[in-house]
Amino acid sequence: MRLVLLLLGTLAVVSALTGGASNALEPMHEESVESESVDTTVDAEMDEVEREWLSDDEAAFLETADESADDMSDETEDAADEEEEEEGVSGSVELEVGAGADKRKNDKKKNKKNGPKKPYNVPCDLSAKRGICLFEGQKVIVPDAGPKGLIGRYTFDDNHAIDNSRFGNHGASRHSNAPGRGGAGSSASFNGDEKSVIEIPQSKSLAALSEFSLSFWIYFPETLDPHLPKDCPIIGKGVSDDRKLFSFSVDASTRTLTFNSLSKGGRVSSRGRIGPHRWTHVAAVRSSKSLSLFLHGVLDSTEQSSGGLQEPESPLYIGRVPWGDKNCRVPFYIDDLRIYSRAMSRHEIEAESFPSLGAIEPSFAHLGCLSCGYGDAVGSCRSGYHLCSQTELNAGAYQVARAMGWGDSQTHIWTNIGNSNPPPGVRLAMCCGGL
C-alpha cells in the first residue's frame, strides 16, 4: 500500500512540474518574440539611416548583394538544420511547447535576411551585422570609411586580399607578403611566376564601368631584366588582349608603364620611368573623353579617348594576367590598391600620393618636353605655368625630374632666361607654377 501511495505521489509531482514548465515557457516565448520584433525594427531603421549616406548605385548594389547572400545563407543553414535534426544533440532534450516549435523555425528563416554577408573564401569565426562594442563601448569595431565611388580597397596587411570598401570584392586566393610602404603593415609580393597572382572574381560593382580610376603604390625590388617582352601586364581585368576592360603593362627595357583600356585611342604610356628600390605612386583615370596617367601625383601623360566599353565578364588579376606572355616574369610589390567607379579629380590623386615627392607638392612642376629647343620649351607649359627659373629648379624641380625618371645627373634642363638669346640645341623642359 505504501508503495502504491509513493508512486501516485511521484506521478502527481511530475504532472505539476510539467504543467508549470509549460505555462512558464509560454510567456517567455511571447516575450522573446516581442523582443525579436523590436530588434528587427531597430535594425531596419539603422539600415535606412546608413544607406542615406550611399549613392544610388551603391545602395542598389548593396540591396542586390544582401539578397544574394540571403539565398546562399538559406541553403547553407537549412542543410545544417537538417543535419542537426538527424543527429540530435548528445546529452540534452529539446522541449517544444505546442505550436511554438514551428513558429521558432519560421522566425529563424525569416530573420536570416538580417544576417551579415560573410567574406568570399575567408574563414570567419565571428560574423556580425553591426559594429562590435568592447568594454562597454570604450572600443568600437566598425567597417572602414571610404570616399564616394570606392568599390575596392586592398591594404594587403593580410594574406587574403581582403576588400575594405564595404563591397566585399575579396580575393579568391592567398598571396605572399613583403614590407609595406613606409615600413607600416605589409604589401603583396609577386615573383612573376604563373601561380603568383591574385584573382578577384567578377561582381556587379566591378562590372560595366563606363568611367573608373585606379591608384596604387608599386615597388621593384630589383632592376628589371631588359630582355623581358616589351609589354608585360601586371594588373588587368579581361579574358584576352583584345577583350579587356583595362590593363597595366611594364616595359622592362625603358622602365615605363602603359595603361590600356577598351576604347578608341585607349592607350597611354608614361613619359616618366619607374626606378627600382623606391615606392612609386601610380594612378590611372579613364573618363568619358580621355585616359590619364599620374606618377607621384603628377600628371605624366594623357590621351584623348572615346567610345563605350564592352567588357566581357572576367575577374580582376593582380601579379600577372592569363593572356600575358609566359616569359613575363616581373617581380614587384604592390600596396594600397584602390578602385573607383568614377573619374578621380587631380587634387584627390595628389592627396593620395603624399608624401611621394617629400615636401614638394605634385602641382609645383610638370614636364614640358623631354627633348626640345628653347622656343618649344617655353610654349610647352600649361596655363598658369612657366619655364622654371634656376631658383625654382634648385627649390624642387630637379627633385621632381629625378623622381619621375625624366632626367638624371647627365640631363641638361632649360632655364627661363627671359629675352636673352638662348643657346642652340635641345634640352629637357620643366614648367613651374611658382613658389
Grid cell digits, residue 319: 601579379
pLDDT at 310: 61
For 398, half-sphere exposure in the C-beta direction (CA atoms, 13 angstrom radius) is 13
Are residues 307 and 367 both part of a single domain?
no
In the predicted model, residues of the chain with pLDDT beneath 50 are 1-8, 11, 13-14, 16-18, 20-53, 61, 65, 68-73, 75-77, 79-101, 103-104, 107-119
Give dist(CA 402, CA 262) in Å, integer.
Answer: 32
Report yes or no: 309 and 262 within 8 Å, Cβ to Cβ: yes
H or E element: which one contains 198?
strand 198-200
Q: State which residues form the domain around 47.
A: 2-87+94-115
pLDDT at 241: 79
Are residues 268 and 398 both part of a single domain?
no
Question: Comparing C-alpha atoms, which of 422, 433, 429 is closest to residue 395?
Answer: 433
Grid cell digits, residue 343: 573619374
Strand locations in 211-255 (E) = 212-219, 232-240, 243-251
Are residues 290 and 157 both part of a single domain?
yes
DSSP 342-353: SPPPHHHHHHHH
Report yes or no: 308 and 190 within 8 Å, Cβ to Cβ: no
Give dist(CA 47, CA 42) in Å, integer.
Answer: 9
pLDDT at 25: 41
Are residues 325 and 223 both part of a single domain?
yes
- The β-bridge partners of 337 are 154
pLDDT at 197: 94
Task: Give domain status of residue 135, yes or no.
Answer: no
pLDDT at 377: 95
Task: Give domain status of residue 121, yes or no.
Answer: no
Q: Model's pTM, two decimal places?
A: 0.72
pLDDT at 243: 80
- The β-bridge partners of 150 are 340
Are residues 284 and 189 both part of a single domain?
yes
Are residues 77 and 193 both part of a single domain?
no
Task: Give domain status of residue 345, yes or no.
Answer: yes
Number of domains in the chain: 3
Are residues 328 and 182 both part of a single domain?
yes
Are residues 68 and 187 both part of a single domain?
no
Q: Tens digit of pLDDT for each residue in 27-83?
A: 444 444 444 444 444 444 444 444 444 555 555 545 554 554 444 445 444 544 444
- The β-bridge partners of 295 are 282, 298
Are residues 316 and 180 both part of a single domain?
yes
Give dist(CA 174, CA 162) in Å, integer.
Answer: 10
